[in-house]
Each structure stands twice: as C-alpha cells, then as structure tokens.
Amino acid sequence: MANRKEPGTDLEPAAGNGLLHRRVFLGAGAMAGVLGAAGMAHAEPLTVPEWVTKPGKRPLPYTQPSPFEGKVQRTIPDQNPLYEPGSAAGRTPHQFLEGMVTPNGLHFEVTHNGVPDIDPDKHLLVIHGLVKRPLKFTVNSLLRYPLTSRFHFVECAGNSGALYGANPVKGTVQQLHGLLSGAEWTGVMLSTLLDEAGIDPKAQWLLAEGGDATGLTRSIPLAKAMDDVMIALYQNGERIRPNNGYPMRLLVPGFQGNMNIKWLRRIRLTEGPMQTRYETSRYSLLLADGKAAQYKLQLDAKSFITRPSPGYQMQGAGLYEISGLAWSGNGTVKQVEVSADGGKSWALAALSGPVLPKMLTRFRAPWKWDGGPAVLQSRVTDDTGYVQPTRDALLLARGAKAQYHFNGITTFQVAAGGEVSHVYA
C-alpha cells in the first residue's frame, strides 16, 4: 500500500483533536490506504476456504447467532446488585451492537423475583377501580382490538447510576449503560381500553400491577395513560419474550423503565398515586437535603459513545468512526455533538434515520486519531431544547445522594497505547 496517498493531513477539522466533518466518509477515495484493506496483485489467485468445499447445515425452524458470537451476551451479575432476594438484571451489550434496534435476545431486563412462565390461555388482565364497567381481558380478546406499532426505548431509572459514584467504574458500556434497549412494539393503546371501561371523572391516576411473584406496582398519571401508553404484545415482530413480560406488558414511552409493568395483570383507576414500595423506597430521587423527589417519571435526554468504548483496542493512528446512541424521554433527538478533547470543542455527529420520538437514535462521526491521548464525549440536544448536562453540573444540581436518573455526559479516555477507559472529565 506504499503507493497510496495518506490524505489525512489535508482534512479540514470540525473540532479539536482530530474530529472531522461527516463528508470525509462520503468523498470518493478519501479513505484509500487509511483503513484496513490490504492490496493484492491483479493475478493473485483466490484462496478457497474450507466452507466452500463441503455442504453446510440445513435451515433451522428458529435460528440463533453464530457460535463465533458467543461473547455477545447480556451481563448477568453474580452478585445481586440491590441485595434483595431474587433481584437480577440482564444488561444489553451495546459495545457489540449497531443500529437503533436491540435484538430480542439481548433486550435488557430487571426482575425482582425471577421470570415467570405464564400460560397465555390462563392469563387475565383486569381494569377496575374508578371505572364505570370493570372489564376482564384474555390475551385472545386483546388481540381482537386495533393494534398500533411504535419504536420506543425502555430504560431503567437506575441505568448509569454508577456514574454518581465518587470514582469512575472501570466498566464497559454494557456495565455502565446496559439497562437500556430499543425495539418496535406492537399492542393495544391503553386509551382504547379505558374508553371502553368508562373513566370515572374522579380518576386522575392508575395503578398497574405485574403478574409475577413480586407483584410490582407503579402509579401512572391518567393523562399519560390516555396519551401514548400501550399494552404491548409484540416486540420486533414476534410476541414479547418471558423476560420482557410475556404475554403482555405495559409500555410507558419515555418514563422510568420500572413503570413499564411486565406480565401486566391489573390496572386500577385511582384518585391519586398509591405510594407503592417501588415508587417510595425505590425509584424516587434522593436529594442533597435528604428529601426525595417523587414522581419524577420522565427520563431526560442522554447519550453515550459505544465505539470506541472501554474494551475496544485502538489499532493505530488513523481514521475511526465514532458511533453511539442518543435518546430523550421528553421527545426526539435534535442533534448530537462529539468531542475528542474533553468538551473543549464539539463537532456535529450525523444522525442515522429514521429519528423517532422516545426511541434510540444512532449517531456517527469521523475521527482521525493522532495516536496520542484523547478524551471522548457525546452530548445530545432534544427537540425541547434540553441539552445533556456535564456530570459536574448534574451532581451540583442533585447532590451526592442521588441514585437514579443519571443522564450526565459520559467520558472515555483513549490512552496513547490505544486502550479506552471510563473516566470523569
């Protein structure tokens, strides 16, 4: 490849420490010789790999990933993170994924007493409380209703909670931010069923309850329920999986993941919120003065870089594509900026469409790493005008006792040797 011109020095910077304009990756031949292709002679014979020489396997009724992708798994912690009997989490390995859809096998979960194996023919959903006509629904009766499909993220309120800590956890994005996934959900709008039940004018909230051994309950404002809450039956085309609430779950777009009640068995309309365990002792925001901010339900805009991220080994100076995810519980991603100098200067990233409300958006930006130390960050702005804050600004506002809703900027340091690690800016 010695005859190829290394064009890097001609490239106009978009921000400090090597960030380039998106058009670098669009220009004809711009990358010749700077990436990984190897040259060969015109007459060089093609080698014949082993798998061309023998028949392969027959198709399967339901396929699985390649055995060579065995490392691409959800993280199942050995130790119980909440020190509570039965609680467990499966975290999505975003460092290995691309695009905006999380495959069903890798969607995150948090369970508080295990995953039930529910027989859909024996499952009932009840709508009662402050309604004119209490109603019971089987799975089959729900499937008679009009269906709606929407792409939405689900994020645990505790996602990224480790970043409140005094010292940066030396983990991957899976460990730091893996309680987040995105999918196409199909189901029945809750408003349709509440209309059928007839809402008592006194009702302002509802209580949703899961049909597992935890019986997790959360209070949801009726206005939200009548807006975009869905009883989801399908995820990325197929029926939702047991760990995601089979045969049905609540989908509460943009609100705390914990409110998206899995194995949904009951909706009770009430006058006010019910102050349940999972919205008082947990999932409320403890402030500096010892008081808790209750019912802060929306997840604010957030982003992080998935590549390069901790665990990725840089392969020498040259062009790289920075890739990551951005989202907002309050609306649609408007722009994402990336920095390679710890926030001193910012370049606009390209957003991969379709950019949808309350859904993950993939962003990408070209970067010419000079082989020296670099400090990578991303910062999202949503269509409400909200800008993702720095970690320092978030801690200043929230104090040191907060555990939930961390949405500050994440920082990755690239060492001169090419190792990537999580740091605080």
Give the one residue of 152, 364, 368, 405 binding a second copy; rule: CB under 8 A: 364
List, in order, residues 6 or more apart from 351 with CB less than 8 Å away.
326, 333, 335, 336, 361, 362, 363
Give the one residue of 106, 163, 261, 299 binding a second copy; rule: CB under 8 A: 106
Give the pair of three-digit tokens for residue 303: 């982003």
Give the shortest CB-294-to-a second copy separation in angstroms.
27
Give the pair of three-digit tokens for residue 256: 């705390």
Closest to a second copy by CB, 75 vs 204, is 75
List, in order, residues 6 or more apart from 47 with CB less than 8 Å away.
none
Q: Where are the beta strands (DSSP E) in 242-332?
A: 249-251, 264-270, 285-286, 292-293, 302-307, 318-327
Residue 241 interacts with a second copy (CB under 8 A): yes or no:
yes
Residue range at the interface with a second copy (CB under 8 A); choices 172-180, 262-270, 284-292, 326-334: 262-270
Give the one residue of 109, 155, 228, 300 binding a second copy; rule: CB under 8 A: 109
Q: Which residue has the tokens 């720095």?
A: 390
List, in order, residues 6 or more apart from 325 with CB less than 8 Å away.
94, 100, 180, 303, 304, 306, 360, 361, 362, 363
Give the one residue of 7, 13, 16, 72 binding a second copy; rule: CB under 8 A: 72
Say if CB 411 and CB 324 are below 8 A apart. Answer: no
Residue 317 interacts with a second copy (CB under 8 A): yes or no:
no
Closest to a second copy by CB, 105 vs 373, is 105
Spatial separation of the C-alpha atoms in residues 120 and 241, rounded to whole Å: 12
- In the window 181-240, what residues touch a second copy (CB under 8 A)? 184-186, 192-193, 195-196, 198, 211-213, 215, 233-239
Residue 301 interacts with a second copy (CB under 8 A): yes or no:
no
Closest to a second copy by CB, 16 vs 215, is 215
Closest to a second copy by CB, 239 vs 296, is 239
Residues in the chain: 425
- In the window 19-58, what residues touch a second copy (CB under 8 A)? 25, 28-32, 35-42, 44, 46-47, 49-58
- In the window 82-101, what residues touch a second copy (CB under 8 A)? 86, 88-90, 96-101
- In the window 378-417, what residues touch a second copy (CB under 8 A)? none
